[in-house]
Amino acid sequence: MLQTAPNTIQKQEILIRGIAAAPGIAQGPAFVFLQDGLDVPCYPVEEAALSGEIGRFEQALLATRKQISLLRDAVIERLGQGEAAIFDAHLLALEDPALIDETIQTVYKKKLNIEHCFHAVAEKYIAFFSKLEDEYFKERVSDIRDVAQRILRNMLGLSKCTLSAITDRRVIVAEDVTPSDTATLEIGHAIAIITDAGNRTSHAVIMSRSLRIPAVVGLISASHQIEHDDAVIVDGYEGLVIVNPTDETLASYERISRSRGDFQRKVLSEVELPSLTSDGVPFRLSANVNGVEDIESVHKYRAGGVGLFRTESIFLKNSQQVPDEETQFDYYRALIAAALPDRVIVRTLDIGGDKQHSALLAGTGSEPNPFMGFRAIRYCLERKPDFRTQLRAILRASAYGRVKIMFPMISSLDELLQAKDFLAQTAAELKAEGVAFDENIAVGSMIEIPSAAVSAELLADHCDFFSIGTNDLVQYMLAVDRGNERIAHLYEPCNPAVLQILRHVIQTAKRKKIDVSVCGELAGDSAFAPLLFALGADSLSMTPAVIPEMRYLLRRSNSTDLNELVSQVYSEHDPKKIYQILRRFANERLV
Ligand code: PEP
Ligand code: MG
């Protein structure tokens, strides 16, 4: 049921068009989430009013202390003591006497407002610690930055604007939402996510799809157009955001929402039916998961196992700490055991790119091109101790269920062989220690870099399976940053070059008799799933929530129509026409 937000003066209705990124319709009050880049004012203050500035500073320090303590208690309750350690560091940074004393002295010396003086002193400290080589001091930079932001927000009256402060059901409006921003978000409080940045494969979207909430991205400046508490409708089917809707718009969305709800119920009523096309050909729909909390949906939607477990998600819960072998082992074992009798494809750490982790990446400096930089397997092959810890934990967990291992961002045979070699060494160590693990564990490679796709033939001789990561493959093939809204229109999976390479990889895997799945967002897109299945993908791995709809769609497809779809798509060169062909195929069946 759509609800009208309390809104005494009817503001002007605004329609903002973006990219439809996660399906669904939601309506509720906006929560404008501001990241860095606060506008800190600077103005002179009369001598007599200076003590009032210090008073405001003390109030802000008290409020910040209270917020951090509350957050720490909530994290202890949800995730345990270890995950909350970061907040102890923040409390220490908050009490730093040097920072406080120097701020107060600056106010009296310069006779300027407290926000400006505090900001200037904090920036000076951040610059100083950033230059030091010592890892301990480098880590303090992010503590001071985080705490300084909180204090400033409190002084500027923006204290509500962090995701952990959401206490009721809200539409999250942000420039961008990174995986670490969402770590403290209380699930259930976000009813939709809309961002200025991003496109269909950015992580805000992947998260929305797994939370089953609508998302519209690439809105360019929505976070500046929408005000806190504005009533917002998010249409994740059409990529529309309506701010301050009129009663007429609300009523029309209520109708749309009802009919979508009816269709969704129909789809869900078929969840138990077998995964067979209408002429009896089996297909496999597996799940992309971020953690043990997703396994319930894997079973609920009858997924054929976990096709992608993004292990970096557990690292991203706390960017200040690296989980040790025991912590990782406990986590992987719990997830793998919960997934039984199904198998889990565990992908090794894919950190870097837009998945930044202060502790893991400490000392690496900022990169001009993070998506082309120190990411995933490149990180692991250089930081062998971290890689070894993770491989030991995964191998040990393999004794408790059915596991396959997969390496992300492989760009050459040499890289694949180095990773496999290191895995073999780690396995040999465990064996020598008498530790149990699956000695026949299957090992596969993500195919998400064009060089790997082109050399699929070579890689196939050394892999038990391939999994095609279309999110990155499209970005690297077309040189279009997957998170950059300015060029989102160029992120075109229907580009014939992309379609050729997808067919090449799938056909090569078939010829080499290894399993091939697709785990990028295209596998969970109703326009592309039939094509990928028709090309021969053994499994399509997607966010669990979309599995019922994909099963409904493929159960209404048959081999003749699917073969015809392939020949139509591959005889066309215009991406727009190709998309129309794919969309029509899906729409005719999704009724
Ligand atoms: C991909 O690139 O398609 C993929 C599944 O990996 P991620 O989205 O985690 O980069
Ligand atoms: Mg990828």
Taking only the tens place, the pLDDT of each residue in 10-46 is 678 888 988 888 888 999 999 887 665 567 888 889 9
292 CA from centroid of ligand 2 (Å): 20
One domain, residues 434 and 482: yes
pLDDT at 184: 57
Please say if the pLDDT value at position 316 is more than 90. no
pLDDT (0 to 100) of residue 20 = 85
- For the cut 80, the answer to whether the pLDDT of residue 569 exceeds it is yes
- Contact yes or no for 316/357 (Cβ under 8 A): yes
Is 467 in the same domain as 516? yes
- Pairwise pLDDT comparison (71 vs 250), residue with the higher score: 250
Residue 503 above 60 pLDDT? Answer: yes
User: What is residue 555's predicted lDDT score, i.e. its pLDDT?
Assistant: 98
In a shared domain, residues 285 and 361: yes
CATH code of the domain containing 151:
1.10.274.10
The total of structural domains in the chain comes to 3
- Asked if residue 448 has its Cβ within 6 Å of ligand 1, the reply is yes
pLDDT average, residue stretch 191-196: 90
- pLDDT greater than 90 at residue 526: yes
312 lines ligand 1 (CB under 6 A): no
CA–CA gap between residue 117 and residue 141 (Å, rounded) = 18
Question: Do the strands 442-447 and 465-468 form a parallel or antiparallel pair, or are they unpaired?
Answer: parallel
Is residue 276 domain-resident? no
CA of 471 to the centre of ligand 1 (A): 5
- Burial of 556 from C-beta contacts in 10 A (0-12 / 13-18 / 19+): middle
Specify the pLDDT at position 158: 65
CA distance 582 to 587: 9
Residue 159 · residue 165 · CB < 8 Å: yes
The region that residue 188 occupies, defined by phi over 0 for left and psi between -120 and 50 for alpha, beta otherwise, is left
Q: Catalytic annotation on 203?
A: yes
Q: Is the CB of 350 under 6 A from ligand 1?
A: yes
pLDDT score for 77: 63
Residues 218, 294 share a domain: no
Tell which atom from ligand 1 comes closest to the C-alpha of 469.
Answer: 3
Asked whether the CA dihedral 197, 201, 206, 208 is positive or negative, the reply is positive
Residue-level pLDDT at 71? 67
Tell me which of 519, 525, 540, 541 to substitute to probe ligand 1's pocket, judged by most ligand atoms within 8 Å of the beta carbon.
519
Note whether residue 2 is domain-resident. Answer: no
Task: Quickly state the pLDDT bin for 3 (edges 50, 70, 90).
Answer: very low
Verify cis geometry, omega within 30 degrees of 0, for the bond prior to 29: no
| Domain limit, last residue, from 234, 265, 296 | 265
Quote the pLDDT of residue 7. Answer: 43
Final residue of a structural domain among 113, 137, 156: 156
Average pLDDT, the chain: 88
At 415 the pLDDT is 98
pLDDT bucket at 390, cuts 50 / 70 / 90: very high
Q: From the alpha carbon of 473, which atom of ligand 1 is closest?
A: 2
Question: What is the C-alpha separation between 488 and 218, in angstroms, rounded?
Answer: 7
Element (H, E) at 243: strand 240-243
Asked whether 17 and 215 are in contact (CB, 8 A), the reply is: no
Q: How far is the CA of 207 from the centre of ligand 1 (A)?
A: 12
Q: Does any ligand 1 atom lie closer than 6 A to the CB of residue 354?
A: no
356 CB burial (10 A radius; 0-12, 13-18, 19+):
middle
Q: What is the pLDDT of residue 227?
A: 86
Which has the higher per-residue pLDDT, 318 or 514?
A: 514
Q: Among the atoms of ligand 1, which is closest to the Cα of residue 522?
A: 3
Among all ligands shown, which has an atom nearest to the Cα of 409? 2
Q: In ligand 1, which atom is closest to the CA atom of 408?
A: 6
Atom of ligand 1 nearest to the CA of 471: 3
Q: Out of 354, 472, 542, give the residue to mutate to test ligand 1, the one with the largest number of ligand atoms within 8 Å of its CB.
A: 472
Nearest Cα residue to atom 6 of ligand 1: 469
pTM value is 0.74
Tell me which ligand sits closest to the C-alpha of residue 523: 1
Instruction: Assess whether 402 and 449 both reside in one domain.
Output: yes
Domain boundary among 240, 265, 290: 265
pLDDT band at 145 (very low <50, low <70, confident <90, very high): confident
Greater pLDDT, 99 or 574: 574
* Pocket-testing residue among 178, 199, 201, 202, ligand 1, by greatest number of atoms within 8 A of Cβ: 201
pLDDT at residue 289 is higher than 90: yes
pLDDT surpassing 50 at residue 2:
no
Structural domain includes residue 570 = yes
229 within some domain = yes
- Residue 515 has a pLDDT of 98
The answer on pLDDT for 519 being more than 60 is yes
Provide the pLDDT confidence category of residue 134 given band limits of 50, 70 and 90. low
Q: Is 223 domain-assigned?
A: yes
Taking the centre of ligand 1 as the mean of its atom positions, its distance from the CA of residue 518, in whole angstroms, is: 10
**Catalytic site residue from 90, 119, 203, 357:** 203
- Interval between CA 408 and ligand 2 midpoint (Å): 7
70-91 confidence digits (pLDDT tens) = 767 765 665 566 656 667 777 8
Residue 519 is among the residues annotated as catalytic for this protein:
yes
Whether the per-residue pLDDT at 172 is higher than 80: the answer is yes
- One-letter amino acid identity for 227? E
Same domain, 84 and 167: no
**Which pLDDT band, with edges at 50, 70 and 90, does 144 fall under?**
confident
Whether residue 246 sits in one domain with residue 229? yes
Domain CATH for 175: 3.50.30.10
pLDDT for 103-132, tens place per residue? 999 999 999 999 999 999 988 888 887 777
What was the pLDDT predicted at 489?
Answer: 87
- In short, whether 520's Cβ falls inside 6 Å of ligand 1 is yes
Query: Has residue 428 got a pLDDT over 80?
Result: yes
User: What percentage of residues in the chain have a pLDDT greater than 90?
Assistant: 61
